[in-house]
Amino acid sequence: MITPFNFIIMIFVLICAITAITVKDLLSAVVILGAYSFFMCLLWAEMGAVDVAFTEASVSSGIGTILMVVAIIKTTRRSKD
Amino acid sequence: MINKSDDIIVMTIARLIIPFIQLYALYVLMHGHYSPGGGFQGGVILGASFILLIITHGIVEARKKISKKAITLFSSFGVFIYAGIGALCLILSGNYLDYGYLSKILHVDAAHARSLGILGVETGVGLAVMAVMVSIFINISSFGESAPENNTDEEE
């Protein structure tokens, strides 16, 4: 385990999470959420849970992002609040 | 409903890359019992390749490759493989999903029968997950309407 690398990834995860819930454009929020899952996947892989990292990369960062993009295409792109 | 893309670069790249995605999905599925990966992840990657086909080539073109009947058949057939292998072990006087007892019909030793049994179960899981992922994507992207092969004439 490399501790400085862990902290750098943790900072990126925090930045992505806070940005994804504050941004007004929902398509940007989905893309940032995909980046969040990818950094989460890096964190899992770095901590030794390679199988969880694989699932995170394929399910959350691949299928989850594309399902939310399709949902945004079918509804509205701007956030109401 | 997703229409066909009019960009030749997107369509050519998708056509070139889809077989390699499917090959990688089969690799992940086959090596699931002694390396990271397995039935669920392989099935998701296999479903992602079909979703890429739907996005780039339109849903009408993709329906020729994987029809609505095939999706229903694959999703139930995957569950059937999983439950069938489990019940087969039950019939062969073992516990449910106890693959060691499969050695009586496969004519190999118990350790090899366990390896083959987990491979069969993961194939079933992969088929079911692939079909359900494609089905969820098609249902979201078409508002849950029925497939375009049924209502092309009367609604457009």
Q: Where are the domains of chain A?
A: 23-74
Q: Flag whether pLDDT at A80 surpasses 80.
A: no
Q: What is the pLDDT of residue B7?
A: 87
CA distance B29 to chain A (A): 12
Paired residues of A25 in beta bridges: A78
Q: What is the pLDDT of residue B145?
A: 66
CA angle B125, B63, B31 (to 5 degrees): 25
Q: Flag whether pLDDT at B133 surpasses 50.
A: yes
Cβ neighbours of A55 in B, within 8 Å = 40-41
ipTM of predicted complex:
0.83
Cβ neighbours of A74 in B, within 8 Å = 140-141, 143
| Token output for A31 | 């893309």
Confidence of residue A34 (pLDDT cuts 50, 70, 90): very high
The arithmetic mean of pLDDT across residues A15-34, rounded, is 93
The arithmetic mean of pLDDT across residues B29-52, rounded, is 90
Cβ neighbours of B51 in A, within 8 Å = 63, 66
Asked if B137 lies within 8 A of A67 by C-beta distance, the reply is yes
Give Cα B113 to chain centroid, integer Å. 24
CB pairs under 8 A between A and B: 41
Half-sphere exposure of B10 (CA within 13 A, CB side): 11
CA distance B74 to chain A (A): 19
Nearest C-alpha neighbor of B137 from the set A36, A73, A57, A32: A73
Confidence of residue B2 (pLDDT cuts 50, 70, 90): confident
A48 touches chain B (CB under 8 A): no
Q: Flag whether pLDDT at B82 surpasses 80.
A: yes
